[in-house]
Amino acid sequence: MNDIDLTSPDLYLSRELSLLEFNRRVLELAQDQAIPLLERLFFLCISNGNMDEFFEIRVSGLKQKVAADMAPSGADQMPHAVLLKEISERAHDLVTSQYQLLNDVLFPALADEGIRFLRRADWSDAQAAWVQEYFRRELLPVLTPIGLDPAHPFPRLLNKSLNFVVTLEGKDAFGRDSGVAVVQAPRSLPRLIRFPDNLAAGPNDFIFLSAMIHAHVDELFPGMRITGCYQFRVTRNSDLFVDEEEVEDLRRALEGELLSRNYGQAVRLEVADNCPPKTQQFLLKQFELGDQDLYQVNGPVNLNRLMAVRDLVERPDLKYPSFTPEIPRRLARTTNLFELLKREDVLLHHPFQSFTPVVEFILQAAKDQDVLAIKQTLYRTGSQSAIVDALVNAARSGKEVTVVIELRARFDEAANINLSNRLQQAGCQVVYGVVGYKTHAKMSLVVRREKTHLVRYAHLGTGNYHAGTARVYTDYGLLTGNPRITEDVHKLFQQLTGLGRATQLNKLLQSPFTLIQGLVDLIEREIANAEAGKPAHIMAKMNSLLEPSVIRVLYRASQAGVRIDLIVRGICALRPGIPGVSENIRVRSVMGRLLEHSRVFYFHNDGAPQVFLSSADWMPRNLLHRVEVSFPIEDADMRARVIRETFDNYLADNTQAWELQSDGSYQRLSPGDEPPYSAQQALLEGQLPETLAHAAA
């Protein structure tokens, strides 16, 4: 048993292929007839958006590695060119499934509910006349046709923009006969337009912008005959590269990179499926792409724009029922959080419990005359943030406010640059974290004078300080006045701003220094207990599991007889169920209305269980190349609550759970003869049934 090579590539799954499997599960939610119809459309849009980012980041990176002839880097050791070929096959199959679902299932079902997307062939004469008038009034003035010739080469097109390739016959006003033109649709134009009430069969008749342009593209080329018009979209490399060791000002360097993000190397071409092969090849040549990069689609080239339908259509019966997050009773009764935190900690489970107390923690600190300083990390906040407003007001009132902003939060870089400018203008001390290490920890610290002493209070969380995502992401947050924890948080802020390494911490584990070794030590303890004949059990919930050294020690734990239950929403490189290696490991993914985001780690510890909450997934970037924090839940009642709400609850789910197979595929669980049970729904309803099996027993 122990002579099995745990570094063998056969024991690891590909990161990229696992990510595609995750997106297939998202698509399965769109296919699920038990989910409200408009939410199914929403899940389809999410799967499309996920594919966009997959190509922008993962596929683009692989293409660069192939061009540089780089050796495989993942634990699975799959050659990059082989992986790209496999990705192309699976991605094409997934895209075909997306459009089949849209055209054959969702559009007809929506039409049955009076939500229609009218094609040109379905327009009445009155509707056609209105479309023409709308085109001439709203579209024609902002559309720019570009006829291609030596003076007008193929235009530089924005990443993921809607475009049309137009084939022409005849000569233009200057006697030229180019035969091909391109029309770009500005991003400012709506992709869906609602028909006026007097022309519609109901309140929810829509027309695609692309249909309007198709119908009247000839008005852009007077005197010429249109022989074809086909929508297309190119996806580009959108990863940013800044050599932080070389730049003097990270913010300015990122600002420069953001300008070029929209024009990175092309990695994918989507084109209408009725586009002739000759025109397809013409476009592929322009973007220096091959046939495996071509995706023919039967419908809008950007399904993500259909996401707006859920908000445009007032049909509560076709959406998830609304819910109001709970505010714990003791918090609702208190007017001074600091007085409460002197006596007890507060554990919040979002979105089932409100994010408001976290916001109130910073608001009260900003207004409290006894508060001297506030320290805060910010990764993603949203455009309108009460927390940011409070920090600004605190600085303006003379408090010492230090904010560690991660400028490199992917796709939020521009927003975070603007945020840093606003905070600096208000008088906050703004720090951009540590060169080479993203600051991903979620923590805030308040220093308050109480009589003759300075007292610290802290918030630690598994998710961002973003009130919007706190309503749709599951996360835990801890408000505490525990002096040993708040001292640790203080040391971490000193480390982030002063760059000196934090001295030994009391309770917290941090990456890149102690977190990965701490996890390995906790797993090793379970191995020792199992080898001594004691009960041994590990449970962990996270977004992704990739770090090879952690997977290897989990394999050794399984070999020693440790029971291991993993709840991994997205990517998982570990192969469960391999005889002699991982037969004691179960991996499941739970997905549904809410995005599972919390990171929770449980270790049986011979009947004295330890539970940690964390900002970090078990990925190389989180454990080795980011500043992350993992914090213990030491109160027995709180610990039991986390175990019950996270592990007992999610391991009992039999309606929105998928189990990972050793070949990398996932099988969706079904209730069978058991009553159907949804972990998310149980938490939304505020009642976990007493009959839940105690997973940690």
Residue partners of 121: CB distance under 8 A and separation at least 6:
none
Asked, for residue 690, whether it belongs to a domain, the answer is no
* Phi, psi of 668, deg, nearest 5: -75, 135
219 pLDDT above the threshold of 80: yes
Average pLDDT of the residues in 211-238:
94
Q: Which residue has the higher pLDDT, 217 or 174?
A: 217
Q: How far apart are CA 435 and CA 431, in angstroms?
A: 11
Asked about 152 being catalytic, the answer comes back as no
Closest CA to 257 of 385, 410, 105, 83: 410
List the single range of 146-155, 222-231, 254-263, 356-365 with lowest mean pLDDT: 254-263
CB 401 within 8 A of CB 427: yes
User: Which of 281, 298, 318 lies at the terminal end of a domain, its last residue?
Assistant: 318
Whether pLDDT at 247 is above 90: no
Structural domain boundaries enclosing 377: 329-504
Please pick, among 80, 350, 440, 537, the residue that the annotation labels catalytic.
Answer: 440
The pLDDT, as a whole number, for residue 260 is 60
DSSP 3-state assignment of 227? strand
3-state secondary structure of 199: helix
Q: Residue 393: which of 421, 416, 357, 362 has the closest Cα?
A: 362
State what percent of residues in the chain have pLDDT above 90: 80
Residue 248 binned pLDDT confidence (cut-offs 50, 70, 90): very low
Q: Judge whether 542 lies within some domain.
A: yes
pLDDT tens digits along 53-105? 999 999 999 999 999 999 998 899 999 999 999 999 999 999 999 999 999 99
| Residue 142, amino acid | V
Token representation of residue 53: 């980012």
**For 525-558, what is each residue's pLDDT tens digit?**
999 999 999 999 999 999 999 999 999 999 999 9
DSSP, res 217: G
d(CA 682, CA 408): 36
399 and 311 co-located in one domain: no
Average pLDDT over residues 477-504: 90
- For helices 413-425 and 386-396, give the axis angle rounded to 10 degrees: 20
How would residue 268 be classed by pLDDT, with cut points 50, 70 and 90? very high
Q: Is the pLDDT of residue 108 over 50?
A: yes
Q: Return the amino acid letter for 375.
A: K
Q: What is the pLDDT of residues 579-608, one digit of tens each?
A: 999 999 999 999 999 999 999 999 999 999
Residues 400-439 have pLDDT tens digits of: 999 998 876 566 677 777 888 888 898 999 888 777 788 9
Q: Do 476 and 552 belong to one domain?
A: no
Does position 342 have pLDDT exceeding 50, yes or no? Answer: yes
Number of domains in the chain: 3
599 in helix, strand or coil? strand
User: Distance between CA 515 and CA 495 in Å, rounded?
Assistant: 16
For residues 97 and 24, what is the distance between their CA atoms, to the nearest angstrom?
Answer: 9
| Tokens at 137, concatenated | 């009034």
CB 24 within 8 A of CB 587: no
Could you tell me the pTM of the whole model?
0.93
Binned at pLDDT 50, 70 and 90, residue 255 comes out as: low
Domain closes at, from 318, 341, 357: 318
Same domain, 35 and 141: yes
Query: Hey, what are 260's tokens?
Result: 């070029």
Q: What's the pLDDT at 244?
A: 43
Domain shared by 514 and 497, yes or no: no
- Whichever domain contains 409, its CATH number is 3.30.870.10
Give the pLDDT mean for 463-478: 94
Residue 170, pLDDT score:
78
Query: Length of the chain, please?
Result: 697
Q: Does position 173 have pLDDT exceeding 80, yes or no?
A: no
> What is the average pLDDT across 167-185?
80
- Residue, of 423 and 483, whose pLDDT is higher: 483
The sign one gets for the Cα dihedral 172, 175, 177, 181 is: negative
Regarding whether 277 and 348 lie in a shared domain, the answer is no
- pLDDT at residue 175, as a whole number: 64
Residue 47 has a CB neighbour count (10 Å cut-off) of 25
Same domain flag for 585 and 546: yes
Per-residue model confidence (pLDDT) at position 407: 75
Residue 98 and residue 294: Cα distance in Å, rounded? 16
The residue with greater pLDDT, 385 or 490, is 490
Task: Answer yes or no: do 68 and 205 share one domain.
Answer: yes
**Does pLDDT of 177 surpass 70?**
no
Residue 40 sits in the same domain as residue 97? yes
What's residue 300's pLDDT? 93
Residues 371 and 516 in one domain: no
- State which of 151-165, 298-312, 377-391, 472-486 shows the largest mean pLDDT: 472-486
Q: Is residue 692 included in any domain, yes or no? A: no
Mean pLDDT of 473-492: 97
Average pLDDT over residues 146-162: 84
The reply to whether 432 and 529 lie within a common domain is no
Round to whole Å and give the CA distance between 214 and 294. Answer: 22
What's residue 264's pLDDT?
87
What integer best gives the mean pLDDT of the chain? Answer: 92
Question: What is the SS3 string spanning 39-97?
Answer: HHHHHHHHHHHHHHHHHHHHHHHHHHHHHCCCCCCCCCCCCHHHHHHHHHHHHHHHHHH
Mean pLDDT for the stretch of residues 227-254: 69
What local confidence, expressed as pLDDT, does residue 695 receive?
Answer: 46
Looking at 504, 527, 551, the residue that finishes a domain is: 504
Judgement on whether residues 367 and 228 belong to the same structural domain of the protein:
no
Same domain (yes/no): 552, 566: yes
List, for residues 3-15, the tens digit of each pLDDT value. 899 999 999 999 9
pLDDT above 60 for 251: no
**HEC string for 574-589:** ECCCCCCCCCCEEEEE
Q: What is the CATH number of the domain that holds 281?
A: 3.30.1840.10
Instruction: Judge contact between 462 and 598, C-beta under 8 A.
Output: yes
Phi, psi (deg, nearest 5) at residue 296: -90, 130
Tell me: the pLDDT tens digits for 616-633?
A: 999 999 999 999 999 999
**Residue 324, in any domain of the structure:** no
At residue 243, the pLDDT reads 45
Report residue 246's pLDDT band, with 50, 70 and 90 as the boundaries: very low
Give the model's confidence band at 2: pLDDT under 50 very low, under 70 low, under 90 confident, else very high: low
Q: Determine the average pLDDT of the residues in 306-314.
A: 94
Is 689 contained in some domain?
A: no
d(CA 394, CA 411): 28
- pLDDT, residue 538, reads 98
pLDDT of amino acid 356: 95
For the beta carbon of residue 18, count every other beta carbon within 10 angstroms. 23
Is 395:422 a contact under the CB 8 Å cutoff? no
Structure tokens at 328: 């714990």
> What is residue 324's predicted lDDT score, i.e. its pLDDT?
94
- Inform me whether the pLDDT recorded for 245 exceeds 50: no
Q: Is residue 5, in this structure, part of any structural domain at all?
A: no
